Every structure is written in structure tokens, then in C-alpha cells.
């Protein structure tokens, strides 16, 4: 059942050695290019399409592809939301575009001043749960990288394009997660890889 906790098998967690982490071999994995920016928020014309879009596609621990349909409770919620009246003036659809945004990728930015500060101690929570994810393309043999977050003892959350290559039309392989990475060398990985 997706979203439920796993009791595990009593086995101690194992990690790969720091020798498996080779800084600099991976390049950031770009999200897939969309042909039409509006398709990012494409309307779901019918209930069946909307419900199907909430299914789960993934791989099991043994590498088999799995597909899980949305639960009945989720189906009912989706259909209820689709059939709810619009909340704009006179029940009309509201346009959600921000007029300050430009066209395409170049128009995306953080507004205001950038007041971020570098976290120096990644050994403490929540920074210890954030890390570097690397994966290999079986087709080209090249490595790509993304960020990811631990959401359980053996579960990492990341973007879909960090796991599946739309260009290769295949799952990536040889995943490597480095929690709390604070630099670009194996010595900067406080918990190993």
C-alpha cells in the first residue's frame, strides 16, 4: 500500500562505500522539455483521465515495473473536486497566470532579494535528510544528478525525471544517494554514500 510504513525485515541498513561516489561525474538532470508551456497545467477533460493521472508508476525493489491505481477514497475526492462549482466571480473560470511572469523557462525566477544562506552543518536534522542523488543512463552510460530528501529510513523523495529518462524512454539505474552532502568531495559526505 503506497504511503504506508514498512516494518522492514530486521536487517541493518547497508550503504555503498564512499569509493562509489565519484564527485563531478554527474551533470544535473534537466526536466523534460515541454512543447507547449500551457501543457504544464493542461485541463483534464473527463473524470476518467483525471482519476488515472493520480495513479502511481514505479519500480519494485526487485526492478519490476509496478502500476497502482488510485484508491476508491482518492477517486471519490477527485470526482468531487472536478464537479465542484468554480469559485470565481459569477462562477466563471479564473485565470491563474501571473502577469509578471515572462514566457518559457527564462521567465521563471525567485522574486525579491535572494536571502538564502549556506548551511554549514549538514549533520543535523533537517539538513541531514536532504542530499544528492545520482543515477546512470543505461543507454548512454552517462550519470545525472538531482537533489532528493529522505522521507523514511530507506525511502527517498525526488522528482520523476530524476528516475526516468524521457529521452531514453527508460528507467535510470545505479542510483546513489548521499545524504547531507556539504561540498563536492567524498570527504564532504558525513554519512557516506
- pLDDT tens track for 6-65: 555 555 444 545 556 666 677 777 777 766 554 555 556 678 888 888 888 888 778 788
Give the tens place of pLDDT for each residue, 120-167: 888 989 999 999 999 999 898 889 889 999 998 888 999 988 998 888
The model's pLDDT over 89-102, given as tens digits with 9 standing for 90+, comes to 555 554 555 555 55
> Pairing relation of β-strands 173-179 and 130-136?
antiparallel
Map out the domains of the chain with their CATH numbers. Answer: 18-86+121-188 (2.40.10)
Distance CA(25)–CA(121), nearest Å, equals: 25
Give the residue from 139, 144, 131 showing the smallest Cα distance to 177: 131
Burial 66-88 (b: 16+ CB within 10 A, else e): eeeebeeeebeebeeeeeeeeee
* Phi, psi of 173, rounded to the nearest 5 degrees: -140, 180
> CA Rg, the chain, in Å?
20
pTM of the model: 0.58
Closest CA to 1 of 61, 52, 71: 71
- Residue ranges of E strands in the chain: 26-28, 56-59, 65-68, 130-136, 143-152, 155-157, 164-165, 170-171, 173-179
Contact 193, 17 (CB under 8 A): yes
Which residues, in sequence order, are CB contacts of 10 under 8 Å at separation 6+? none
CB 23 within 8 Å of CB 185: yes
**Alpha carbon distance 183, 180 (integer Å):** 9
Amino acid at each position: 500500500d503506497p504511503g504506508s510504513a514498512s516494518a522492514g525485515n530486521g536487517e541493518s541498513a547497508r550503504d555503498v562505500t564512499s569509493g562509489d561516489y565519484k564527485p563531478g561525474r554527474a551533470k544535473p538532470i534537466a526536466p523534460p522539455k515541454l512543447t507547449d508551456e500551457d501543457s504544464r497545467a493542461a485541463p483534464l477533460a473527463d473524470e476518467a483521465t483525471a482519476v488515472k493521472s493520480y495513479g502511481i508508476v514505479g519500480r519494485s525493489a526487485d526492478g519490476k515495473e509496478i502500476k497502482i491505481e488510485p484508491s476508491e477514497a482518492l477517486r471519490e475526492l477527485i470526482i468531487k473536486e472536478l464537479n465542484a462549482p468554480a469559485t470565481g466571480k459569477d462562477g466563471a473560470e479564473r485565470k491563474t497566470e501571473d502577469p509578471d511572469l515572462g514566457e518559457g523557462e527564462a521567465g521563471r525566477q525567485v522574486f525579491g532579494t535572494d536571502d538564502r544562506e549556506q548551511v554549514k552543518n549538514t549533520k543535523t536534522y533537517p539538513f541531514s535528510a536532504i542530499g544528492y542523488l545520482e543515477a546512470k543512463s543505461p543507454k548512454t552510460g552517462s550519470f545525472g544528478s538531482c537533489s532528493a530528501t529522505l522521507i523514511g529510513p530507506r525511502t527517498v523523495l525526488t522528482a520523476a525525471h530524476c528516475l526516468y529518462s524521457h529521452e531514453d524512454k527508460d528507467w535510470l539505474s545505479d542510483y546513489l544517494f548521499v545524504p547531507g552532502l556539504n561540498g563536492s568531495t567524498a570527504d564532504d559526505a558525513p554519512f557516506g554514500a
